[in-house]
Amino acid sequence: MKSFHRFYLPCLTTEAVENDEARLPDDEARHLTRVLRLQAGTQVRVFDGHGLEREATVASAKTKHVTVRLGRQVQTQPELPVHLTLAVSMLNGRKLDTVVRDSTMLGVSAIAPLRTARSRGSESLHAGLVHRWRNIGISSAKQCGRAVIPTIENPVTFSQFVEASAVSESLRVLLVEPTAISLGGPITSLRALGTIQRPATAIVAIGPEGGWSAEEIERTRAAGFTLVTLGSRTLRAVAVPTVMLSVLQFLWSDL
């Protein structure tokens, strides 16, 4: 099967497109002309980030002004059968960049960064950080063939997250370290999650490098979260989302 370069075109709707031609966003135009050096007449694909993708032909290719002539709608990758929100603690350095990239590839619907008691990256938060994460989500969707870009929410405190989640009817999971069993209370295995009916929506919360505080664990338990462990091994925080999401894909029959 022939592969095509894919570009993000958020205005890909009948109302926004005039005479079946549309202009790419400036960032996408620069990538097409400066990085890929594509010329007029090149066959590409464009998608709107909400599941719509169409064939397209580059009609005009200037550095900051690229227009495409739109063709037929194409079939897109199937989405994860569960609307999944990944709530993940702020991590040190640019580790959350990796989480955004890989979780986009694995089909999450939304990513909610959290400021937790042991977060190491929250003190360096600046206005452009969320914008960068959103761009990473776009790039990841382009590369993996996905036509949906997950929502990247603004960071909130752990208390705000728990309060907002309390009214949700979603399956709510807090991923904890194996040592959390010493705090008492039920801890569920991932295998046990596979025995329940597949939810329509789910929220999975993953902690920072230092893990959740005892107070955070008890607060989520009281709020109705299911505490789950990945087993006896302690994994790197940046790797946990990929492992967890891969297992959930398998349990929810997406693999």
Residue 78 lies in a domain: no
Residue 38 within any structural domain of the chain: yes
pLDDT digits (tens, 9 = 90+) for 92-106: 878 999 999 999 999
Which residue range(s) make up the domain with 158? Answer: 83-251
What total of structural domains would you count in the chain? Answer: 2
Question: Does residue 200 lie within any of the structural domains?
Answer: yes
Judgement on whether residues 11 and 46 belong to the same structural domain of the protein: yes
Residues 96 and 212 in one domain: yes
Phi and psi of 7, rounded to 5°? -135, 145
Q: What is the sign, positive or negative, of the torsion defined by CA atoms of 6, 137, 100, 103?
A: negative
| pLDDT tens profile 41-59 | 999 999 999 999 999 999 9
**Same domain as 69, residue 89:** no
Round the average pLDDT of the chain to a whole number and report it. 88
Whether residue 58 is found in the same domain as residue 170: no
Full-prediction pTM beyond 0.75?
yes
Amino acid letter, 226: T
Residues 89, 56 share a domain: no
Q: What is the CATH number of the domain that holds 12?
A: 2.40.240.20
Residues in a beta bridge with 175: 206, 228
Give me the residue label for tokens 């893990």. 211
Kindly state whether residues 122 and 217 are assigned to the same domain. Answer: yes
In this predicted model, what pLDDT tens digit does every residue of 127-151 receive, in sequence order? Answer: 688 999 999 999 999 999 999 999 9
Tokens of 68: 């495409």
Residue 138's domain is classified under what CATH number?
Answer: 3.40.1280.10
